[in-house]
Amino acid sequence: MNRRPVSPRLPTRRLLRVWQRNWLVYRQTWLISFLPPLLEPCFYLLAFGIGLAQMVGPVISSAGTISYTAFIAPALVAINIMQSAFFETTYASFVRMYYQKTFAAMLATPLTLEEIITGEILWGATKAVIGSALMLIVISCFGLFHFPSALLLLPAALLGGLAFACAGMVFTAIVPAIETFNLPVFLFITPMFLFSGTFFPLDNLPAWAQFVAQLLPLTHVVELCRAAGLGHPLPATAPALAYLTLWCLILFPLALIAMRRRLIH
Amino acid sequence: MIVATSLRKAFGKLRAVDDITFSVSPGECFGILGPNGAGKTTTIRMLFGFTPKSAGRLQLFGLDIDQHLRQVKARIGVCPQENNLDPDLSVRQNLEMYARYFDIPPPLARRRADQLLSFIALEHRQNARIGELSGGMLRRLVLARALINEPELLILDEPTTGLDPQSRHQLWNRVEALKARGLTVLLTTHYMDEAARLCDRLMIVDQGKILVEGTPLQLIHDHVGAEIIEVASPNADLRAFVDRSGTPYEDLGHRLIIYASGGAEYYHTLSREFCQSGCMLRPATLEDVFLRLTGRELRE
Ligand SMILES: Nc1ncnc2c1ncn2[C@@H]1O[C@H](COP(=O)(O)OP(=O)(O)OP(=O)(O)O)[C@@H](O)[C@H]1O
Ligand SMILES: [Mg+2]
């Protein structure tokens, strides 16, 4: 069969139109969208910071000794980055793609599939940034962040958000049905939530587990957030930055290719 | 406007569109008719690059679609078979946001949305959600959305399927108004009256191949003649008479369809000598052509 090679088309700035569509919808429900990142850190800080902190005492690590509450505060932002971006490009993008046929409608306009998918990924990362900004405000009210370095949480949220948005989009391109997302959530998101240096230092784990943790993207996002939030020296974050950049460089093209295979017949 | 040469689409072994060649001139309304699964939607989807073609050449506005897909898409309006309006947005937002996908600046998008809302008579529902609209309103909105970029070619895939007679006539009026302005229209439909009313020229396709092509009148004339005699519960004498006369007919068991181009004379003989009741002479329609060419069996 004489099949033309399907050329991958590089997205242009038109992808912002797709981003704008999601932004328009988001603005209409901003009150509901704003609540989780505002309330979630309060719940966690109350439960862990006040309830649990009295039992565990301060956290002693190479970077010094800090209260348990200060230890988990940046990790809460990291978890939010992961969840906002990942859930946006999995469940939310899947609904738009599969049930609402939004991508199909866009494909009849000058937009290309690559622009649509890139716009969605960028939107997922944007939600991570918005959530982080809100959490930054709340957690700062508890006096747990170091300024001005805590402002670096925003670029960290962008990078981390892109990483998880790309990962989510790869799953969206391959799952047969929306229920299948339970699998990556259970096998990928939940273990990371617990074992990425979020609620206890990685040093507490056996060596092999520390090694596995280093392979998980959330570990590196936590690393970045902790450095920004607590004002640790920045050069130490180079490996985390490199890891997340590489992750995006691999998963972004993968998401585009997988989506083209799914949608273009 | 459209020049398709040996256009083909294969899904694995199935050739949904099998080397079809056709062209559409500017200002023309061209129809694609065919039973379910004939390949109409697939053909249309290749025209705006939604489905990549397997083989053949496709030129729109003199541009080759392989090299100029984005430019071509900017000049087409598509009304797809299934309503894919954005349920997260209001009626007006659906139009304005769609305009943004075409890179139309917001003030112009607003102006065009105003015009189109009045064109489809939905101004009073402009802030409604998509889920609140009736089927006819949805279809009109899809039509308006297809016009937001002021296309040179309008593609309509079964624009009136599932609509009540009022909504169908409303939609036909809109399409006729657009035709009068010189817009080129490509239309698929299962309704022969719709095709006869709107299309200047049409083709009937089946299993990915073109069966015939021509103007509605010419197709009726060439393939079934001007008039049809239908006989309900024919008796043996009548069958024998029709057989002897050599007039082409179809025997559906309980019903005879006689392609009596001879018309009145033949009908009078028939009804005087053999028909107690249940004989009917009527003008031939496109539907007769369609059924004669594509057969009466169910598809799939
Ligand atoms: N993505 C696809 N993968 C495999 N087969 C497909 C695909 N899309 C369409 N087909 C097949 O191609 C054939 C033509 O389908 P198409 O939708 O073009 O028909 P149609 O003429 O529009 O029918 P209808 O009147 O029901 O809308 C059908 O047999 C259909 O099953
Ligand atoms: Mg169809």
Distance from CA of A14 to the nearest CA of B (A): 8
**Closest to A221 measured CA to CA, from A68, A76, A100:** A76
Distance from CA of B103 to the nearest CA of A (A): 8
Q: Where are the domains of chain B?
A: 2-220, 226-283
- CA A185 vs CA A124, A165, A178: distances in Å: 16, 14, 12
Q: Is B9 in the pocket of ligand 1 (CB under 6 A)?
A: no
Q: What is the average per-residue pLDDT within B119-146?
A: 94
Which one of A1-10, A115-124, B217-226 scores highest in mean pLDDT?
A: A115-124
Instruction: Give ∠ CA A79-A85-A89 in degrees, rounded to 5.
Output: 145
- Cβ proximity of A156 and A228 under 8 Å: yes
State the Cα–Cα distance between residues A111 and A116, nearest whole angstrom: 7
Is residue B106 pLDDT above 80, yes or no?
yes
Q: What is the average per-residue pLDDT within A239-264?
A: 96
Q: What is the average per-residue pLDDT within B15-39?
A: 95
State the Cα–Cα distance between residues A153 and A150, nearest whole angstrom: 6
Q: Identical fold at B2-220 and B226-283? A: no
pLDDT band for position B263 (50/70/90)? Answer: low
Q: Can you tell me which atom of ligand 1 is nearest the CA of B39?
A: 18
pLDDT band for position A34 (50/70/90)? Answer: confident
One-character DSSP codes across B251-280: E-SSEEEE--TTTHHHHHHHHHHT-SS-EE
Helices B91-101, A15-28: axis angle to 10 degrees equals 160
Spatial strand order of the sheet with B279-283 comes to B249-251, B255-258, B227-232, B279-283
- Mutation test of the interface with chain A: which of B84, B127, B147, choosing the one with the most A Cβ atoms within 10 A? B84
User: Distance, CA B38 to ligand 1 centroid (Å)?
Assistant: 7
Is residue A3 pLDDT above 50, yes or no?
no
What does the pLDDT read at residue B293?
87
Answer positive or negative: Cα dihedral of B94, B173, B74, B110: negative
- Cβ proximity of B27 and B182 under 8 Å: yes
**Closest to B173 measured CA to CA, from B140, B221, B204, B134:** B140
Class of domain B226-283 as given by CATH: alpha beta
pLDDT band for position A6 (50/70/90)? Answer: very low
Distance from CA of B231 to the nearest CA of A (A): 47
pLDDT band for position B300 (50/70/90)? Answer: low
Which residue matches tokens 């709107």?
Answer: B198
What does the pLDDT read at residue B46?
96
pLDDT band for position B50 (50/70/90)? Answer: very high
First to last CA, chain A: 15
- CA B224 vs CA B216, B248, B258: distances in Å: 12, 9, 9
Answer positive or negative: Cα dihedral of B25, B27, B33, B38: positive
Q: Which residues of B touch A (CB under 8 A)?
A: 10-11, 48-52, 54-55, 66, 70-71, 73-74, 76, 78, 80, 82, 84-89, 93, 97-98, 100-103, 149
Is residue A265 pLDDT above 90, yes or no?
no
**Contact partners, residue B118, CB within 8 Å, separation at least 6:** none
Nearest CA in chain A to B46: A265
Q: Is A110 in contact with B97 (Cβ distance < 8 A)? A: no
The helix/strand count (H/E) of chain A reads as 13, 2
Q: What is the average per-residue pLDDT within B243-260?
A: 82
What does the pLDDT read at residue B262?
67
- Residue A46, classified by CB atoms within 10 Å of its CB into exposed (0-12), middle (13-18) or buried (19+), is exposed
- Cβ proximity of A71 and A49 under 8 Å: no
- Quick check: bond before A148 cis, omega within 30? yes
Question: Token pair for residue B284?
Answer: 């031939």
Q: Is B294 in the pocket of ligand 1 (CB under 6 A)?
A: no
Percentage of residues in chain B having pLDDT higher than 90: 69
Give the distance, in angstroms, between the CA of residue B57 and the centroid of all CA atoms in the same chain: 23
**Closest to A49 measured CA to CA, from A75, A66, A73:** A73
What does the pLDDT read at residue B128?
96
Is residue B259 pLDDT above 70, yes or no?
yes
Which one of A244-248, B34-38, B165-169 scores highest in mean pLDDT?
A: A244-248
Instruction: Give ∠ CA B206-B209-B213 in degrees, rounded to 5.
Output: 85
User: Distance, CA B203 to ligand 1 centroid (Å)?
Assistant: 17
- Quick check: bond before A36 cis, omega within 30? no
User: Distance, CA A175 to ligand 1 centroid (Å)?
Assistant: 23
Helical (H) or strand (E) element with A139:
helix A113-141
Q: What is the average per-residue pLDDT within B208-228?
A: 89
What does the pLDDT read at residue A139?
92
What does the pLDDT read at residue A4?
45
**ipTM metric:** 0.90
pLDDT in tens, A63-90: 678 888 899 999 999 999 999 999 999 9
- Cβ proximity of B227 and B55 under 8 Å: no
What count of other Cβ atoms lies within 10 Å of the Cβ of residue A135? 28
Q: Is B11 in the pocket of ligand 1 (CB under 6 A)?
A: yes
List beta partners, residue B209: B206
**Contact partners, residue B166, CB within 8 Å, separation at least 6:** B136
What does the pLDDT read at residue B17?
96
Residue A110 or B299, more confident: A110
Q: Is B51 in contact with A264 (Cβ distance < 8 A)? A: yes
- The rounded mean pLDDT for chain A is 91
pLDDT band for position A2 (50/70/90)? Answer: very low
Q: Which ligand is nearest to the CA of B39?
A: 1
The helix/strand/coil state of B207 is coil
Is residue B183 pLDDT above 80, yes or no?
yes
Q: Is A108 in contact with B50 (Cβ distance < 8 A)? A: yes
pLDDT band for position A5 (50/70/90)? Answer: very low
**Closest to B63 measured CA to CA, from B115, B3, B129:** B3
What does the pLDDT read at residue A1?
39
What letter represents residue B224's amino acid?
V
Is residue B117 pLDDT above 80, yes or no?
yes
What does the pLDDT read at residue A208?
93
Domain B2-220 has CATH 1.10.10.10: no
pLDDT in tens, A159-168: 999 999 999 9
- Cβ proximity of A113 and A107 under 8 Å: yes
